Structure 1
Amino acid sequence: DAMQALGAVAVPSSGIGAYQLVSRGIVDGLIMPTGDMRTFNMLQHTNFAVAIPGKIYNGSFSLFMNIDTWNTISKTDQEAILEVSGETFARRARAWDDSDEKAIEEMTQRNINRTQATKNFVEELEANLTFVSDAWITEANRRGVDGQAALAFFRAEAKRIAAGTSTEP
């Protein structure tokens, strides 16, 4: 839906599959995290890249567990899980940011034309993609959560963590 809203045709694929699509000229472009462009050897087939502030999308990892299942885990194991979770895990996931930086360095070495999205372009993206947030808010509300407040909280937390501010002692 998002790609269609932006006037593109989506061709869903894995990273490896995307390499095949790009290297064979089947697609003209793709949306992919910067580091993955390097990981999946896309840079050799790349002439232009546009960096979107805040990114269009990014991977996220979560562990959800039923409280009854959690209670079957030993206290020692619970503590071990909690010790490497939350902001601790987020800080260790810095490797993804490092991967982005390496890809940007390689783009420079390969003379790939990498530009920052203009303010007007970002505003156009946001205007065309508001339905994504609206749908999320609607679904959260349906489940009994204040979707608008939850989304504002998540976005504030993401900015806080990106800035390196911690709530942990």
Structure 2
Amino acid sequence: MKHLIRSTLLTFGISLTAGAALAADTVLTISSWAPPTHGMNAKLWPEFTKMLEEATEGRISAEVKYGLGAPPAQFDLILDGVADVTWIFHGYNPGRFVASKMIELPGYEGNAEAASVAYWRAYEKYLAEANEHDGVKVLAMMTHGPGILHSETKLASLDDISGMKLRLGGGVSGDVGAALGATGIRVPAPKVYETLASKAADGVMMPMEARAGFKLFEVAPHSYSVPGGFYRGSFAIVMNQDKYDGLSDEDRAALDTIAGEALSQVAGRMWDEIDQIGIETIEANEGNSWTEASESDVATWNEMTGPIIESVLAEVSDKGIDSATVQTFIAEQMSGN
């Protein structure tokens, strides 16, 4: 009976969403590349759609479609108008997005919500000058929670990482892996489970949410963390510029009220929520564990981050951005949220 009630409510909810889309004058196509059960699809896109429908009084809705393109192709997919909205992970396109590395630096203190708000403010104030998102409308900037190392075997210290084959998503996580003596393997997030299950990698650096979102608890049951995380991942929610420009003045203004800092905050909050779901898989599954770095390893790690940070700051400075000022700005903004 309970199952029947849940199924009925789910169907009712889907019917309401579908009905709203049918009634809308404009239905935006959202391209998504994570599994349907991932937080982006189960939480953020429904919330975004609700915000959109309320802001436009039902004139605009949205629907999610899967399989329109591989994760690294999402930016170009939006440029080409294959979809109207998507989320991109900047690290999947090495060299194309450099300024985005500023939010990925180790050493920031705070959750994903605080970091995402700080990121949007830094983007508006400093990072947009790099023109790395030319051709699209940026709706939000966001970052997941602290990056954690998840592995098949339990790690006792930082020294255990040297020599490991780790799936690294790109961006600063690649720099971190190299500094720790690991061999980096580049595959998009949807391929991580397969990569670990086939023993092509010994572990992966991803946030806690991936334990549930990508079922890491089955293939990398042991997690190892340092304060603040090894890194943070940089994402943007972007929209086809022609689609945005083609909206009425009233609807563009309405969309603008939910975009920017507002949507960045909602997205960051979602990452925090699903991180907690990932943490819960540790106690829920026998043989899973979470090891926090010892005081001596934390001291070692803090020394190791210096060259990583300096390298990124120099790289971003070459883009004409005062990277040291941006780093300080992000840290200050996070401490205030």
Question: Quick check: TM above 0.5?
Answer: yes
Does structure 2 conserve the Cα–Cα contact (< 8 Å) formed by 1:50 and 1:115? Answer: yes
C-alpha displacement at 1:123, in angstroms?
3.1
Does structure 2 conserve the Cα–Cα contact (< 8 Å) formed by 1:6 and 1:125? Answer: no
Distance 2:212 2:301 in 1: 25
Does structure 1 conserve the Cα–Cα contact (< 8 Å) formed by 2:211 and 2:281? Answer: no
Residue of 118, 121, 129 corresponding to 2:305: 129
Correspondence for 2:224? 50
Q: Give matches, 1:5-84, under 5 Å.
A: 5-62=179-236, 75-84=249-258
Letter of the structure 2 residue corresponding to residue 103 of structure 1: G
Correspondence for 2:330? 154
Residue of 280, 285, 291 corresponding to 1:110: 285
Does structure 1 conserve the Cα–Cα contact (< 8 Å) formed by 2:212 and 2:278? Answer: yes
C-alpha displacement at 1:39, in angstroms?
1.1
CA 142–91 in structure 1, closer or farther in 2 if over 3 Å, else same: closer
C-alpha displacement at 1:75, in angstroms?
4.5
Q: Give matches, 1:86-97, under 5 Å.
A: 86-93=260-267, 94-97=269-272
CA 75–144 in structure 1, closer or farther in 2 if over 3 Å, else same: same
Q: Aligned with 1:27: secondary structure? A: coil
What TM-score do you get using the length of structure 1 for normalisation?
0.76
Distance 1:10 1:118 in 2: 24
Distance 2:184 2:257 in 1: 40
Deviations 1:132-152 (A, max 9, x none): 321232234334432211111
Does structure 2 conserve the Cα–Cα contact (< 8 Å) formed by 1:3 and 1:9? Answer: yes
Distance 1:107 1:150 in 2: 36
CA 114–77 in structure 1, closer or farther in 2 if over 3 Å, else same: same
Relative contact order, higher structure (CA 8 A, sep 6+)? 1
CA 72–140 in structure 1, closer or farther in 2 if over 3 Å, else same: farther
Q: Aligned with 1:10: secondary structure? A: strand
Letter of the structure 2 residue corresponding to residue 25 of structure 1: K
138-147 or 104-113: which moved more? 138-147
What TM-score do you get using the length of structure 2 for normalisation?
0.41
Letter of the structure 2 residue corresponding to residue 12 of structure 1: R
CA 13–143 in structure 1, closer or farther in 2 if over 3 Å, else same: closer
Does structure 2 conserve the Cα–Cα contact (< 8 Å) formed by 1:21 and 1:27? Answer: yes
Does structure 1 conserve the Cα–Cα contact (< 8 Å) formed by 2:222 and 2:290? Answer: yes
C-alpha displacement at 1:17, in angstroms?
1.9
Deviations 1:90-145 (A, max 9, x none): 33111211111011111111141112223332332332233332123223433443
- Report % sequence identity: 24
C-alpha displacement at 1:64, in angstroms?
8.1
Letter of the structure 1 residue corresponding to residue 327 of structure 2: L
- Structure number with higher strand proportion: 2
- Structure number with higher helix proportion: 1
Structure 1 residue runs of 5 or longer lacking an equivalent are none
84-93 or 147-156: which moved more? 84-93
Letter of the structure 1 residue corresponding to residue 317 of structure 2: N
Does structure 1 conserve the Cα–Cα contact (< 8 Å) formed by 2:193 and 2:219? Answer: no
Distance 1:87 1:47 in 2: 35
Distance 2:245 2:221 in 1: 53
Structure 2 residue runs of 5 or longer lacking an equivalent are 1-174
